[in-house]
Structure 1
Amino acid sequence: MKKFSLAAVILASALAVTACGSSSNKDNGGAPSTGGGQPAAAKVTVLKVARNAVPNPPFSYLNDKNVMDGYTVEYLKLLDERLEEYKFEYEEIAREAMLVGVESGKYDFAANFYYRNPEREAKYLFSAVEYGYSLNSLIVKKDRDDIRSLDDMKGKKLTPMSPSTGLRTLVVDYNKKNASNPILVEDIDAVTDAEAVQWVASGKYDAFLTNTTVFENVNAQLKLPLKIAAYVTKEPIWVLFNKDKKDLAARFDEATKALIDDGTLPALSEKWFGVNMFKSLKDVNEQYKFK
């Protein structure tokens, strides 16, 4: 029998262990082993998310348990569950700070029922698939019957609006087409929905242009003598990304489309708005009653 030195035996044992380890990795599809023959867990990327600190029910607000709730909040939870390669970390900040933070890259994205316009598209990347809609209305005092459309607002005063809000863009576009007799509106850095409805109720301004359900929720608390005078438009709302997040936006689009196709988002719309906003504006309008 041929004799082997102790060093040779140790070397051979080491090579055998190495070979077994290589075979194990190959069987696991090339994934590195974490011990016990199991592949390593997939890498999870943490996303910094800007969320609106100003309550905008039913899109986002603090519920009676002091927890963020609403349509947009639930939509983001669904995405966080379905996009397993990402983990969302939220920061509640002011609306203007959200936009600045996404543009600078401090935040990866923001969801605050944003509308699209050329100025924003120059600074941000928008999702290609809308995650919902905003049904917008003119709110007036109950004893007024002279306002039924935007045309009736010519020469009249809307409550002040933040330049960053999508509804401000609707008014700007309207005034460009009606420059000789525009709707009167002032810019303001920040204003709450409660302040706006109180200004209309006091007679300081003629009307408040806002999301229908936002008004209904706010006035359910304030109980002011106001009414919906007209539905102006149903606008798609989008997630807004930092310009460098093309891959992230594409994954959001995939997941959002799936949530619409499988009925999840239409059902969520029914829950928070009392109507399926993904239907046509005509169908949506038939669900609402106003004088």
Structure 2
Amino acid sequence: MSNSLINKRIVAVIAAAASVFSLTACGSGTSKNDTEASKDVQVVNIAGVTGKKPYTFVDGNNYTGYDFELLKKIDEKLPQYKFKYTALAQDALLTGLQSGKYDAATCSFYGTAERFKTFDYSENPTGLSDARLIIRSDEKNINSLEDLAKSGKKLAPIPTDDARYTLINQYNEKHPNNKIEFEGATEKSATVADVLKAVGAGKYDAAIYPYTSFQSIKDELGLDLTTTDSIGLFPTVFLYHKGDSTAKLRKDVDKVLDDFRNNGTLSKLSEKWYGEDVFKLPGADKVDSVIYWK
């Protein structure tokens, strides 16, 4: 073989090797800058309660509802984070949040003193829950908590760790001569549907639930029930794994929640998912999660 032919083959091999190296370096799609940038993005594992329309539910592969849509909008404002979503039963969600499997959790949660011993929470409300008395449509004498107290009629039991229980206790403390007689529920398995069916059947005369919970289920139940006007507004919150690991996340999310309340984003989500702008209801401007729950 001639020296010129050998030299040509050596040149060809070197060129091919250079080409492969170039393709490997450029074709991977990950530059040094891309790798460094990805290291700066913190993945945040967020859990919502499954099948809790209109708050958190899954439609095909889409995590949606008021809370999940709010989180997606927050994620867009915080490029330093990447939110990853999961939906599961509430008991499993709270267990996972306490253990640190999840960084945050959502389902328009009420705050309670007991809950805040275990979890941290957003200091700006994620939304407002419009509590109503649910009554039979032919009930003409119950239009407020005062009416319920005067009538002596029966209110459906409320779990003792629920914010609705606190609402009635606060009313009774302010009205010692016109108290509402009610019981704390020990059976937590009763669903909204179970309680509303009991009201419809006359076992109870009234129940307290968020207006949105009633609206989402009333047609399905086919019961002749209606609601009073609002009897109280509760701030709803994101819950976080308790500790320093979520401190910066909480602060960053709270800043966006404050912006969203001021620029009308929360109002638009409320109109879309709740059928009303809860932030325009009387007293809404005074509801703050820090003040309310402390």
TM-score normalised by length of structure 1: 0.74
Counterpart residue number, 1:287: none
Counterpart residue number, 1:135: 130
Counterpart residue number, 1:183: 181
* Counterpart contact for 2:122–2:237, Cα < 8 Å: yes
2:154 maps to which of 157, 160, 166: 157
1:127 and 1:145 map into 2 onto residues whose CA distance is 40
The alignment-based identity, stated in percent, is 33
91-100 or 254-263, which deviates more: 91-100
Partner of 1:281: helix, strand, or coil? Answer: coil
Change (3 A) 1:61 1:204: farther
Amino acid at match of 1:95: Q
1:48 maps to which of 36, 45, 57: 45
Partner of 1:171: helix, strand, or coil? Answer: helix
Counterpart residue number, 2:269: 268
Counterpart residue number, 1:192: 191
* Counterpart contact for 1:140–1:207, Cα < 8 Å: yes
* Counterpart contact for 2:114–2:161, Cα < 8 Å: no
Could you give the per-residue CA deviations for residues 12-35 of structure 1, whole angstroms, max 9, x where no partner exists? Answer: xxxxxxxxxxxxxxxxxxxxx944
Find out whether 1:91 has 2:86 as its counterpart. Answer: yes
Could you give the per-residue CA deviations for residues 220-249 of structure 1, whole angstroms, max 9, x where no partner exists? Answer: 222211111342112221111122121111
1:187 and 1:172 map into 2 onto residues whose CA distance is 17
* Counterpart contact for 1:160–1:188, Cα < 8 Å: no
Change (3 A) 1:259 1:174: same
Change (3 A) 1:62 1:144: farther
The CA deviation at 1:183 is 2.9
Aligned length: 249
Could you give the per-residue CA deviations for residues 15-60 of structure 1, whole angstroms, max 9, x where no partner exists? Answer: xxxxxxxxxxxxxxxxxx944x7772142222222211242x3222
Change (3 A) 1:194 1:216: same
- Spell out the pairing of 1:1-291 with structure 2 (5 A cutoff): 34-35=31-32, 40-43=36-39, 44-55=41-52, 57-63=53-59, 65=60, 67-154=62-149, 155-175=152-172, 181-185=179-183, 186-244=185-243, 245-281=246-282
Amino acid at match of 1:61: F
2:237 and 2:129 map into 1 onto residues whose CA distance is 10
Partner of 1:128: helix, strand, or coil? Answer: coil
Change (3 A) 1:254 1:42: farther
The CA deviation at 1:167 is 2.2
1:45 and 1:91 map into 2 onto residues whose CA distance is 17
* Counterpart contact for 1:114–1:165, Cα < 8 Å: no
The CA deviation at 1:253 is 0.7
Partner of 1:92: helix, strand, or coil? Answer: strand
2:197 and 2:64 map into 1 onto residues whose CA distance is 25
2:206 and 2:61 map into 1 onto residues whose CA distance is 32
Partner of 1:265: helix, strand, or coil? Answer: helix
Amino acid at match of 2:124: V
The runs of 5 or more residues in structure 2 that have no matched partner are: 1-29, 286-294
Could you give the per-residue CA deviations for residues 118-162 of structure 1, whole angstroms, max 9, x where no partner exists? Answer: 333332212111121111100011111222222333454333434
Change (3 A) 1:66 1:191: farther
2:284 and 2:108 map into 1 onto residues whose CA distance is 21
Partner of 1:120: helix, strand, or coil? Answer: helix
1:183 and 1:99 map into 2 onto residues whose CA distance is 31
216-225 or 112-121, which deviates more: 112-121
TM-score normalised by length of structure 2: 0.73
The runs of 5 or more residues in structure 1 that have no matched partner are: 1-32, 285-291
Partner of 1:248: helix, strand, or coil? Answer: helix
Amino acid at match of 2:47: A
Could you give the per-residue CA deviations for residues 155-208 of structure 1, whole angstroms, max 9, x where no partner exists? Answer: 543334344433233234445556784432323223322222111111111212
**What RMSD, in angstroms, separates the aligned Cα atoms of the two structures?**
2.8
Give the structure with the higher percent helix: 2
Change (3 A) 1:84 1:165: farther
Partner of 1:278: helix, strand, or coil? Answer: helix
